[in-house]
Chains A and B, each alone.
Chain A
Amino acid sequence: MSFALRKQGEIVVVDVEGQLIVGNRQELKQKVLDELERGEKKFLIDFSQTGYIDSSGLGVLVSLSKKIREQGGELRLANLNDDLKTLFELTKLDTLFQIADTRERALESF
């Protein structure tokens, strides 16, 4: 499991490669918080290479969403496969996050 961060215009795009679970979710949190601290405001997390997320991974996304909002920033999620969509629906987190079907739609929505 790894993360790739890169800038696309004003937006920090994070590609999560592999599962976002208890063993690695702190790393994602720290990487995004570091960027937030540097003054970045727009974040897109792309899950096209993620099979599943556990509750601690969902917890980190909730935490990041709060912190980014507190700094006047925005967070979008993109490319959730059907399994991930189910997880977000089961936990009603689909109502908490802005989720786009594709990366392009997510980037346009900022």
Chain B
Amino acid sequence: MTSPDRPRALPLRSLHLALELEIPSDVRYIERVVEMVARQCEHLAYSTRQVSLNVPVALTEALSNAILRGNREHVSKRVQVRCDVNRDRLVLEVVDEGTGFDLAECLVDATSPENVVREDGRGLFLMAQLMDRVERFANHGNVVRLTMRRHD
């Protein structure tokens, strides 16, 4: 008697996920959004480190900035999140209703002797450390775009 064929693993190469959501300017929504996005990366076999550290921390920072700084926690303002992920890379865009900021000016070295003792100022630094690219531009709002290549 022959044994039944083992089911073949689904080839992920052509899988592409796109997620678009909108949240109020309330930091309590951050964890849920991060969980959803990290789950998509997990489905596409991004590395454990990327799923448990890079994406959660970078996205939490971007959402936190959008809510607290961009939208100043105004109850009527919204934050949009667009997630586009395939087997090669993840692109996240976080959009707030604020006037924007100068990325180059705000990307300070949080590890310098004067900065390491500060209580603030690590958000953008961490985003730049954990993502392959961080960009900011205006497009129907203030957009912060994070790009990360997939690691095994």
Contact = CB atoms under 8 A, between A and B. Distances in A.
A90 B129 contact: yes
* Main SS class of interface, B: helix
A56 interface: yes
Interface in A72-89: 82-83, 86-87
A87 B60 contact: no
Nearest to B67: A22
A55 B117 CA distance: 13
Contacts of A21: 30-31, 60, 64
A52 interface: yes
A23 B63 CA distance: 11
Nearest to B112: A92
A93 B67 CA distance: 26
Interface string B40-69: 000000000100110011001100100010
Measured as residues with beta carbon below 8 angstroms from the partner, the interface class of chain A is: 20 to 34
B31 A51 contact: no
B126 interface: yes
Contact of A22 (B60, B111, B116, B130): B60
Given A87-B57, A92-B111, A55 B116 contact: no
A34 interface: no
Measured as residues with beta carbon below 8 angstroms from the partner, the interface class of chain B is: 20 to 34
B111 A87 contact: no
Nearest to A81: B52
Nearest to B58: A54
A54 B120 CA distance: 11
A62 B117 contact: yes
A22 B53 contact: no
A63 interface: yes
Given A23-B27, A62-B118, A62-B119, A55 B61 contact: yes
B131 to A, nearest CB: 12
Interface in B80-135: 110-111, 116-123, 125-126, 129-130
Interface string B67-81: 010000000000000
Contacts of B122: 55, 58-59, 91
Contacts of B120: 55, 59
A98 interface: no
Given A23-B27, A23-B31, A52 B53 contact: yes
